[in-house]
Amino acid sequence: MINQSQLLSEAEFWDRAASAIVINGACLRRFSHSEGPSSATEFSPRMKQDILEVVGNPAGRRVLVYGCGTDAAPCWFAAKGAAVDAIDISPISVDVQKIVAARLNLRVNAVVADAHQTGLPTEHYDLVYGNAILHHLDLPRATAEIWRLLKPDGFAVFRDVMAGNASLRLFRKLTPNWRTKDEHPLVEKDIEAFCAVFPRVRVQTYCLSALPYLGALRLTNRLLHRLFRLRLPILKPLVWLFDNVDRVLLGAIPPLRTQAWMCVLELRKTGQPCQPDTPYTAGAEQGHRYSHFHAWAVILRGMLEYARVAKDERVLEFVRRARDRAQVHRADCVAEQTYAVYEIVAQ
């Protein structure tokens, strides 16, 4: 259980981080031009798309951003027409949200609150959204509070980090000043805690093959920023490649999901109880049945890029025939998204 001194330590850490933010034109553009409620989705286009699909259209909904920090989520939801409340343990982070929302002419009700005991009305929200907040909390208490806050047909979506593999744990030990001392990336027992409360739990995982590249990039950018106030951009084609490799690997070999860095959790109060699609147990059969479709999609898209550059009509014809074959067997695909991948390939 997290005690009061740990809460104060968390607040002080994030106050220091938020105090370094300069609210200028670049900062406002980061908030106003966000393509989704989580900035970390630049590491995985697939994760960004999955979050947008799960969240859906927030217009007219009452949304709580749970642990808002200095992320763009409150302003993104407000710009989409939602009635937005936002909470955080850090007073300076809350002040940043208020100032940015005012400058962008958006209505965001941001307040300082403990995520374990928010003091907000019961069954008040259609959606509770959080970005990298759960691994800072006492999960049994936080899960009970999230359940209390949601309407009977409400749901929660969280983008968070997992304990991952040995190299990821080593990276965290080598960079202790980058995070709070009490945080605990999610493990299997944490997923089980959600399953004990919510009848429907879905977990999707991301960022496995990209870990060496992303780790090196973060270390390099820390050094460059400290010395020259410069940062290297993320190479989007490389991230796209890693993302598609992960799509195949995590679908074909479910145990690898425990080794990933990030996850998206979907928690719903309604629906028939089901075995949760966690990265640890469920989904093996489904992954086996459509992983070869994803593998072919990655290969064909690479061939298509080559064909367009080389203007090779034979390769283009092969891709078109593969697309047609996928359409014929569309009914046999487990996931609707499989054919969608082929449609993208053949565009």
What pLDDT sits at residue 335? 36
More confident residue, 94 or 302: 94
pTM score above 0.85: no
What pLDDT sits at residue 214? 87
Residue 166 has pLDDT above 60, yes or no: yes
Summarize pLDDT for 249-273 with one digit per residue, the tens.
888 888 888 889 999 999 999 865 5
Taking the CA atoms of 7, 13, 16 and 18 in sequence, report the sign of the dihedral they define.
Answer: negative
Summarize pLDDT for 269-307 with one digit per residue, the tens.
986 554 444 444 443 333 333 344 444 555 555 556 556
Summarize pLDDT for 115-128 with one digit per residue, the tens.
999 999 999 999 99
Host H or E run for residue 200: strand 200-206
Residue 342 has pLDDT above 60, yes or no: no
Confidence of residue 340 (pLDDT cuts 50, 70, 90): very low
Confidence of residue 345 (pLDDT cuts 50, 70, 90): very low
CATH 3.40.50.150 in the chain: give the residue spans. 4-243+258-282
Looking at the DSSP bridge assignments, the partners of residue 295 are: none
CATH number assigned to the domain covering 4-243+258-282: 3.40.50.150
Show the 3-state SS of 264-296.
EEEEECCCCCCCCECCCCCCHHHHHHHHHHHHH
Across 137-141, 208-212, 321-325, least confident range: 321-325
Across 106-115, 174-183, 277-286, 324-333, least confident range: 277-286
**Cα(274)–Cα(264) distance, integer angstroms:** 18
Residue 76 has pLDDT above 90, yes or no: yes
Q: What are phi and psi of 180, to 5 degrees?
A: -75, 150
Which residues, at least 6 apart from 49, have a Cβ–Cβ distance to it below 8 Å? none
More confident residue, 271 or 49: 49
**Cα(316)–Cα(322) distance, integer angstroms:** 10
More confident residue, 168 or 273: 168
By CB atoms closer than 10 A (0-12, 13-18, 19+), residue 244 is buried
Confidence of residue 191 (pLDDT cuts 50, 70, 90): confident
- Tokens 């899960």 found at: 143
Q: Which of 30-39, 96-105, 225-234, 264-273 has the highest mean pLDDT?
A: 96-105
More confident residue, 123 or 339: 123
What pLDDT sits at residue 181? 79
